[in-house]
């Protein structure tokens, strides 16, 4: 996976949008989309991860007519799996649709505390209506020699952590990219979106700790 520099360095999201058919899957009940019940039961023993994903179709993406992000997967470290076919500890998949719209969707997921590495992502690419394929980065490509080549995020027990906004970058070729909400004022507005969708969350104490990566995003510290 070759590090690349995109022409867009950040994305600030302000408009709340409703989620559509997204599946949040995990290997053994270790993670799930936050509900009032699950948050109440696990608020001190597990962590809450906040992030956005844009599943929309990106037109004229690199040399392709369009591209779409179709899935993301993360494993808790140290990894307990090596096979590319083994289920990840946290997976998000967007249901196929002919009518995708470009919008960042807010997610709050309850996970076991620890450090997590990106171990899979799926991008659908189309040269034409009849020429469609998938580019899939697998565990064996993203985790090598004890290193997370895609990136990692951390969350502690009782913490609520914002890790960024995931979408495509289309510089030269379609690629997963971690964007972020820039500035303290914009971040406060972003947290209000999470609060609107998940009113039981305690977003005022949320920590801004981006998904760390050397190849799929730029570093940034909230100011």
Cβ-based neighbours of 83, under 8 Å, separated by 6 or more = 139
Buried b (16+ CB within 10 A) or exposed e, 38-56: bbeebbeebbbbbbbbbbb
Q: What are 199-204's contacts with CB under 8 Å, separation 24+?
A: 199/36, 200/34, 200/35, 200/36, 200/39, 200/40, 201/34, 201/39, 201/48, 201/108, 201/160, 202/160, 203/50, 203/160
pLDDT of residue 81: 86
- Give me the pLDDT at residue 162, please: 98
Task: Return averaged pLDDT per consecutive 10 residues of the chain, 223 residues in all.
Answer: 34 35 51 89 95 92 90 92 90 68 89 96 90 90 93 97 96 93 95 97 96 95 89
Cα(218)–Cα(8) distance, integer angstroms: 10
């Amino acid at each position: 996976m070759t590090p690349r520099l995109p022409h867009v360095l950040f994305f600030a999201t302000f408009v709340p949008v409703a989620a559509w058919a997204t599946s949040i899957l995990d290997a053994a009940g270790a993670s799930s989309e936050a509900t009032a019940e699950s948050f109440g039961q696990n608020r001190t023993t597990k962590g809450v991860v906040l992030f956005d994903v844009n599943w929309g179709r990106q037109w004229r993406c690199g040399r392709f007519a369009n591209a779409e992000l179709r899935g993301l997967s993360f494993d808790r470290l140290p990894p307990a799996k090596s096979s590319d076919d083994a289920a990840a500890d946290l997976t998000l998949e967007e249901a196929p649709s002919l009518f995708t719209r470009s919008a960042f969707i807010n997610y709050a997921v309850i996970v076991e505390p620890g450090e997590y590495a990106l171990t899979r992502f799926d991008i659908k690419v189309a040269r034409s209506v009849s020429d469609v394929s998938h580019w899939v980065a697998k565990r064996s490509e993203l985790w090598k020699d004890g290193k997370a080549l895609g990136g990692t995020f951390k969350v502690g027990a009782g913490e609520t952590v914002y890790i960024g906004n995931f979408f495509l970058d289309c510089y030269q070729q379609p690629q997963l990219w971690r964007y972020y909400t820039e500035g303290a004022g914009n971040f406060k507005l972003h947290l209000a979106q999470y609060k609107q969708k998940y009113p039981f969350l305690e977003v005022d104490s949320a920590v801004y700790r981006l998904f760390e990566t050397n190849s799929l995003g730029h570093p940034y510290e909230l100011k």
